[in-house]
Structure 1
């Protein structure tokens, strides 16, 4: 079966051959280029190493996939390249560069091929150009990648950030794919502050995002262009040596349709914000208290309130309409051999009673780690999550409880000529639906028991044996899985070559008895300063015992080269 999959990958279609040829040409071209430049850099560095230093990394990979018996679940071949380098001048100016390239093209994704540079000059000045990422605050701007420019100043306790760029690329709508389209979105942000976060500080933050309504064709099905303005004040200070507080207060204005009628009573500069009948304004507050009276115990309190109309386009996902509180104590006992951590929190919505019901969530956890001796250790974890709604109608009422318990004793000892690790693991999970109408079809319980033994020999051989039993019961079915696997590893050539072979089988029992045979190969060879090359191959062979499920085979592979300099 493996031989058939290899033939299927490396023959037949010319497109696949072209893709493979292109990635390998790119692969070895950059390798030769890198090695040549490393050699030249070494020779040249004898004169300039005192004031110019070059460092970075290159990652090149080619992934391939083949399947039979089922539809393909990922592309047949994808090549990727990631290049990062940093030039340091006089130990004061840092010029980091990033470049991404991929043979995979998807219409509804943002561009993968990206280039950016963020030079750092001394310890207080950073510039951004091209694609870059940075962060302003929790409520303004944080996880978007911009195409544009920016500057960050941090001389002493003074802090200033100014950013400008494009956060989204225009993409036309495609009704056949149920894609509503995406406007080009331009953003700017600024932050100014002073202080030391470990003692006392404050920052004023501003973020603005606006869709370009002319960047895509519009019709009755196209989404409306939007505009967003968020400002916040973030500050913190030390009340006493053991107690400090940090908080952020934010206000947002959001227009869901730039084409809506403007409000004549408000007059703002167009680059700042243009209120119209689709605009809404709301606020948000976040508070954190940290209390640490000693090295043996501490207490943290977190709370936040986010209004139902609060919106920040500076994050890919910003939840709103919520009130949340949590407390997290931790303690160390028995000369730090026993560590205990706990957490409890509650969240609810419907802050202005404009929903049909209020939904509340409770989360709680307890974790204990006890290293009794060098031979024996013990872990215990408990999690509880609850969600319920205030609906009086049983059809809409929501009341679910999720529990999980994990017990993990572990042993470390010398035997069989090497070092042994023996780990036992038992976990229990249940989901309880308290709705009188849906409880009979929604409850489930899962038991899992596992044993893992690993042996490491001085001859660089290693063996890992795993046994896993899982049983899951629902209202309609019972599933039982028994998994047995073995992994063997060996290092060769003064540990430059590392090879691991693994194989195993799963026995899956439902109303029928299926089986799954899997195999994997992992290898990596180090060329020392010239990088390393790795190859991964895995095969998944599923054998069905009935016509209701399919028998299929999948083959995954990855060839990768990495170098740091």
Structure 2
């Protein structure tokens, strides 16, 4: 065993031993206050898996392991935590799946290190994981926040295998100053700076490896984002907005521009160098909320200019303008809930594209708790899209979805029955311009599910489900039938729990070929066994085995079989 592996196992052993410490001691308080001397809780998970398939390629590694540690600790008011996730399936062909993060907090000061998820502005830096650090200073109504870290690691071909996307190392830095309460009235001003690190690219001199064939030029980006909200009448009324101004340079090797050529004040060039490939754009949204029992209303408007990009947001759709209205009613002590959504959007905001798309979406959801045992949920959604251009009337698409979900629960002593039903009908219509007028196509899909479960006083439980789906698009159709059943039972006063589930699904598709009808049929059969054992207080062992067989009963295709096993140990403390 390597030195590194020994250190990891020793680290895990320490945490497992700590988890056996009597937790009563951690609940002692200081004097007459409710401040606890120290608290310690968390978990350690060790998991191994084996996978096998008859297919020509594996969906995952044949053997693998996953280790995860979560720890939260406090001492005399100081709080700290640790979160680790390490998988042997991590690959240099993509961004890392592993995670290591640490935090420490004392009163109004918080430090985060490792893999952090900063929250600045929805269009500048939000929901993107960085490997670096963050500091948050929040005494009273004042806020200071700073973040620095790596968004992407360099990815390239490995052992002749090409990644989905080549990328440089990408670093992002961010800072925020503000006053107020984030959920109430506040004003924040944020700035971010990001740049691709060209030094992360390896030296391929003399190597006949076309690793740059799909690698985009190194980019650079700076954003400024003001954000404000006004909250009145004890949060009954809110009005707010946030916007992001982004200067994005597509190629840092492109020619530089002077301040006069770029049309900006000269002092800005010392902060950010404008180039031929630099584009200035913005995105923003505004909202207003009205909330008083039993009514809530939120109206939101957003606009994202064409070509808008930000290194702190991995995916964003540009060239979009949308307004959304969301009313909600809660009646009879929340036994009845009515929710609605109406939105309209359009693109081609600058009018420089050959076509314009306009969308309209209407949605209604209802939830009725008719009694303690009976509930009824339903919904309707209508989405329409119209694409027009100067040369023709364009195309039209209409989709309507109807949903109904009743459920019934019956309790008789220690025996419980749960029965639920689901029905979904989807109607679609598309119209495209043709040589002889509009070409209209219609399709419909009808789906239904039925679920039943039973729990007995002995702990024995049964579950079953049936599902059917049928679709017709004129020249093609499909039908799917499926059924599942399972049973579970506890042994040794609940220390061992065993669950067995199995199911089958039959799928048939029909389509018109060049001269005749083409029929394809396949049958899938699956099984799952899960067994868990509570070794001691906070310690458990879990085994999961699953198998899947897909066979082609008619038509083209290739069947396959796959099997997977997982063994997991968990220590909670």
In structure 2, what is the Cα distance between the partners aligned to 1:359 and 1:546? 41
- Quick check: 543-552 or 409-418, which moved more? 409-418
Q: List aligned pairs for 1:282-321, cutoff 5 A.
A: 282-292=281-291, 294-321=292-319
> 1:516 aligns to what SS in structure 2?
strand
Q: Cα 1:220–1:177, aligned 2, differ >3 Å: closer, same or farther? A: closer
Could you tell me how far 1:531 is from its partner in structure 2? 2.6
The answer to whether structure 1 residue 224 and structure 2 residue 221 are counterparts is: no
Post-superposition CA distance 1:319-366 (Å, at most 9, x none):
221111100111123453221111011121111112111122222211
Aligned counterparts, 1:8-87, within 5 A: 32-39=13-20, 51-68=37-54, 71-87=57-73
Comparing 98-107 with 218-227, greater Cα deviation is found at: 218-227
Q: Quote the offset at 1:467 in angstroms.
A: 1.5
Which has more helix, going by share of residues? 1
Q: Which moved more, 1:151-160 or 1:136-145?
A: 136-145
Q: How many residues align?
A: 542
Whole-angstrom distance in 2 between the partners of 1:101 and 1:453: 38
**Post-superposition CA distance 1:498-533 (Å, at most 9, x none):** 221112222333335532222111222234533322
- Indicate if the aligned counterparts of 2:432 and 2:440 stay in contact, CA closer than 8 A: no
Change (3 A) 1:102 1:376: closer
Alignment CA distance shift 1:29-1:48 (3 Å): farther
CA distance in 2, matches of 1:325, 1:409: 33
- Comparing 175-184 and 527-536, the one that deviates more: 175-184
CA displacement at 1:48 relative to structure 2? 12
CA distance in 1 between partners of 2:92 and 2:394 (Å): 40
**1:90 aligns to what?**
76
- Aligned position for 2:205: none
Whole-Å separation in 2 of the counterparts to 1:498 and 1:328: 44
Q: Does 1:492 align with 2:491?
A: yes
Q: String of CA shifts for 1:183-239, please: whole Å, max 9, x gaps.
A: 122221100111124542111111110112232158675311111111111111124
Please, which moves more after superposition, 246-255 or 220-229? 220-229
Q: What's the secondary structure of 1:544's corresponding residue?
A: strand
| 1:298-318 deviation digits (Å, cap 9, x = unpaired) | 111111111113221111112
Rounded Cα–Cα distance in structure 2 between residues aligned with 1:296 and 1:48: 41
Looking at structure 2, the residues matched to 428 and 98 of structure 1 have their Cα atoms a distance apart, in angstroms, of 44
Which residue of structure 2 aligns with residue 424 of structure 1? 421
Shift of 1:547: 5.1
CA gap of 1:25–1:118, structure 2 versus 1, over 3 A, is: closer
- The corresponding residue for 1:3 is none
Q: Deviation of residue 114 (structure 1)? A: 4.1
Q: 1 CA distance for matches of 2:106 and 2:199?
A: 38
**Higher mean C-alpha displacement, 555-564 vs 481-490:** 555-564
Distance of 2:548 and 2:439 partners within structure 1 = 35
Cα drift, residue 141 of structure 1: 0.9
- The offset of 1:34, in angstroms, is 3.3
Could you say which structure has the higher strand fraction? 2
Judge conservation of contact 1:197–1:237 (CA < 8 Å) in 2.
no
Q: Are 1:234 and 2:227 matched, yes or no?
A: yes
Report the CA distance shift for 1:457/1:257 in structure 2 as closer, same or farther (over 3 A): same
Tell me if structure 2 keeps the 8 A contact 1:70–1:550.
Answer: no
Match of 2:549 in 1: 541
Report the Cα distance in structure 2 between the residues aligned to 1:491 and 1:176, rounded to whole angstroms. Answer: 47
Give 1:415 shift: 6.2
Residue by residue over 1:426-471, the C-alpha shift from the partner in whole angstroms, topping out at 9 and shown as x without a partner, is: 1111222121459979643211122211111111111112121211
Q: Give the SS at the match of 2:18.
A: helix
Q: Find the residue that maps to 1:545 and give its secondary structure.
A: strand
Query: What is aligned with 2:147?
Result: 163
Structure 2: runs of 5+ lacking an equivalent: 31-35, 203-210, 510-518
Work out the CA distance in 2 between the residues paired with 1:310 and 1:282. 5
- Pair 495,270 (structure 1): closer, same or farther in 2 beyond 3 Å: farther
Once the two structures are TM-superposed, the CA of residue 134 in structure 1 deviates from its matched residue by 1.8
Q: Give the whole-Å Cα distance in 1 for the aligned partners of 2:157 and 2:394.
A: 37
- Where does residue 115 of structure 1 map in the other structure? 100
Give the corresponding residue for 1:262.
256
Gaps in structure 1 of 5+ consecutive residues: 1-17
Q: Aligned equivalents of 1:417 and 1:146: distance in 2?
A: 50
Asked whether the equivalents of residues 288 and 301 of structure 1 are also in contact (C-alpha less than 8 Å), the reply is: yes
